[in-house]
A and B are shown apart, each in its own frame.
Chain A
Amino acid sequence: MSRLINILGYIGRSANSFFSRLTRMTALGENAIYWVIVAPFKGKGIRWKSTIHQMVLIGFNSIPIVVVICFFVGLILAMQSAYQLERFGASIYVADLVGVAITREMGPLLTAIIVTGRSGSAIAAEIGTMKVYEEIDALQTMGLNPVRFLVVPRLIALLVMLPCLTLIADFVGIAGGLTLATLNLKISFVRYLTQTANALVLKDLITGLAKTIVFAIIIAQIGSYQGFSVEGGAEGVGKATTAAVVSSIFLIIVADLVCTIFFYSTL
């Protein structure tokens, strides 16, 4: 009997904590939407200086790592597909495969995961540290909204920069495939590019970029949520940072699945 009560109690507590987390996360999202979309019309502007600063941190500074990783992934994809396609004498289709895989899937996904690792964790750590040192409280006692000050600049920076980074990733990934094809598969530069251009349709690029908007919202939302829920000093900040990265990556992949099902079945 007491074991049954324990189990029921456990289920109840878990459900309770799940829903309270959900409520807090929804409240944060609602707040962010208000400060991005509604408040500017009420004369409470967006903090552009801080937004541009975040764009540099999140977007511009990520370019080197995105370029290197996506170039390598382009190479790897080309090698793996050439291994299969060569047996049919169809090496030229490496261009199709790499082009479509990068623009539709690998470009957006890899970029989002890199940015989560670099910036999602930074968002959680920064906001978490500010919470520990009472800086968030200080903002509130000055009558300044922490969401407007801290979340909105990061959210806008991500919404703008993640699609840009993904575009770069797409080009570099294709360049990776091209490098392997010209060096190893004896396919000429022009032929590879023509083949890629014929294989790709605009839809591939657009569906890839559309997803990055969803990813940007996930990274900003989870990072700041975890930052605001930090409790108990440096250890709390560490935990929040890890949680931000793990749950963002998980949610990005789930969102990717949902988007792909949606695009695959309707477009």
Chain B
Amino acid sequence: MTQPIIEIINLVTYYDSRKILDGINLQIYPGETVTILGRSGCGKSTLLRHIVGLSHPTDGQILIKGSDITRLNEEQRLPTLKKIGMLFQSSALFNSMTVGDNVALPLREHTHLEEPTIQIMTRMKLDQVGLSGFEDFMPAQLSGGMKKRAALARAIAMDPDILFCDEPSAGLDPIVAVGIDQLIMKLKKAFKMTIVVVTHELASVFQIADRVALMDKGKIIAIGTPDDFKNSDNETISQFFNRIPDPENIDKQEYLNSLIGNSK
């Protein structure tokens, strides 16, 4: 059995006194595409922030290629960070730099390559995401979908082993969103990357995922292939996959109490 490339062990996090992540355990193996699925506010984006080291857990471990990212300082983390790419929900391109400089930034900072080489690599990466010729544009001149593509080019600039995507299709129209999903699949084939996608888009889950982890209220309640989920008779899973809304609150007394501010 191969070693997991990412291993999350018993991760617990609080915001003030609110428990956001409640004992997460997850193993992700090299080369697979895992989607973390869940409703808004279930803690899936928080989980991703912890994996890439942006937030610190209250308890638990996150092993990326065997090193525990929660226990490393900034300098010790650097080798791990160089080998991961992250696509942010809002693209997070640096607005003060051109698209080309955005993609070139990690190369300029982390490698000792000559500037002409960096220019060529930048053009290659932009070409891979279908944005060749856009290197002199500012991010503000691009549409939402193009920004996502440019951000993806920046995320893969260092040829990462692991690519994380936070809601890659959020805020995009269905056609552009499918385009981004296909692009992710194409990159996966080309670079043999491990991909972790946080999303609540079912369509995209069926298109790209090898395995799905379903989160609810800070816990992973099920892990399996998309087909397992489709045929599951678990209440939360089928609610999610069949798009059934929460039942409306019908307790009149409780409703009255909540209106007059007496809710217990």
Measured CB to CB, the residues of A under 8 A from B are 129-130, 133-135, 137-138, 140-145
Question: Chain B nearest CB: distance from A52 CB in Å?
Answer: 14
Q: Hey, which chain A residues are within 8 Å of B88, CB to CB?
A: 134, 137-138
Task: Assign chain B's interface to a size class.
Answer: 20 to 34
A133 pairs with B90, CB closer than 8 A = yes
B82 pairs with A143, CB closer than 8 A = yes
Q: Mark B89-108, 1 if CB is under 8 A from A, else 0.
A: 11011110000000001100
Contact partner of B52 among A129, A130, A141, A145, CB < 8 A? A141
A141 pairs with B77, CB closer than 8 A = no
Q: Hey, which chain B residues are within 8 Å of A130, CB to CB?
A: 94-95
Give Cα A138–Cα B49 distance, bound, in whole angstroms. 11
Residue B84 lies at the interface, judged by CB distance under 8 Å to chain A: yes
Q: Hey, which chain B residues are within 8 Å of A145, CB to CB?
A: 74
Contact partner of A141 among B74, B86, B89, CB < 8 A? B86
With contacts A135-B93, A142-B81, A143-B81 known, what are 9 further pairs, Cβ within 8 A? Answer: A133-B92, A134-B90, A137-B88, A137-B92, A138-B94, A140-B54, A141-B53, A142-B109, A143-B77
Task: Show 10 residue pairs from A and B whose CB-CB distance is below 8 angstroms, ordered by the A residue.
Answer: A133-B90, A134-B88, A134-B92, A138-B92, A138-B93, A138-B94, A140-B53, A143-B81, A144-B105, A144-B106
Give Cα A185–Cα B88 distance, bound, in whole angstroms. 66
Q: Hey, which chain B residues are within 8 Å of A138, CB to CB?
A: 86, 88, 92-94
Residue B65 lies at the interface, judged by CB distance under 8 Å to chain A: no
Question: Chain A nearest CB: distance from B95 CB in Å?
Answer: 7
B95 pairs with A141, CB closer than 8 A = no
Residue B202 lies at the interface, judged by CB distance under 8 Å to chain A: no
Nearest to A145 among chain B residues (CB) is B74
Residue B110 lies at the interface, judged by CB distance under 8 Å to chain A: yes
Residue B142 lies at the interface, judged by CB distance under 8 Å to chain A: no
Q: Hey, which chain A residues are within 8 Å of B256, CB to CB?
A: none
| Secondary structure dominating the interface of B | mixed
Residue B78 lies at the interface, judged by CB distance under 8 Å to chain A: yes
B109 pairs with A144, CB closer than 8 A = yes
Give Cα A129–Cα B94 distance, bound, in whole angstroms. 11
Q: Mark B72-84, 1 if CB is under 8 A from A, else 0.
A: 0010011001101
A142 pairs with B92, CB closer than 8 A = no
The 8 lowest CB-CB distance pairs between A and B, nearest first, are A143-B81, A134-B92, A138-B92, A141-B86, A134-B88, A143-B78, A141-B52, A142-B106
Q: Hey, which chain B residues are within 8 Å of A142, CB to CB?
A: 81, 105-106, 109-110
Q: Provided the pairs A133-B95, A135-B95 are in contact, do residues A141 and B84 lie with their beta carbons within 8 angstroms?
A: yes
Q: Provided the pairs A142-B105, A145-B74 are in contact, do residues A135 and B92 lie with their beta carbons within 8 angstroms?
A: yes
Contact partner of B54 among A129, A133, A141, CB < 8 A? A141
Nearest to A42 among chain B residues (CB) is B75
Q: Hey, which chain A residues are within 8 Å of B89, CB to CB?
A: 134
Question: Chain A nearest CB: distance from B12 CB in Å?
Answer: 22
Give Cα A134–Cα B92 distance, bound, in whole angstroms. 5
Q: Hey, which chain A residues are within 8 Å of B94, CB to CB?
A: 130, 135, 138
Question: Chain B nearest CB: distance from A234 CB in Å?
Answer: 13
Question: Chain B nearest CB: distance from A127 CB in Å?
Answer: 12
Q: Hey, which chain A residues are within 8 Å of B105, CB to CB?
A: 142, 144
Question: Chain B nearest CB: distance from A118 CB in Å?
Answer: 18
Q: Which of A137, A140, A142 has the most CB of B within 10 A?
A: A142
Give Cα A137–Cα B89 distance, bound, in whole angstroms. 11
Nearest to B89 among chain A residues (CB) is A134
Question: Chain B nearest CB: distance from A236 CB in Å?
Answer: 15
Give Cα A138–Cα B109 distance, bound, in whole angstroms. 14
Give Cα A135–Cα B54 distance, bound, in whole angstroms. 12
Give Cα A21–Cα B54 distance, bound, in whole angstroms. 20
Question: Chain A nearest CB: distance from B110 CB in Å?
Answer: 7
Q: Which of A130, A135, A138 has the most CB of B within 10 A?
A: A138
Question: Chain A nearest CB: distance from B97 CB in Å?
Answer: 10
Question: Chain B nearest CB: distance from A261 CB in Å?
Answer: 40
Q: Hey, which chain A residues are within 8 Å of B77, CB to CB?
A: 143
Nearest to A138 among chain B residues (CB) is B92
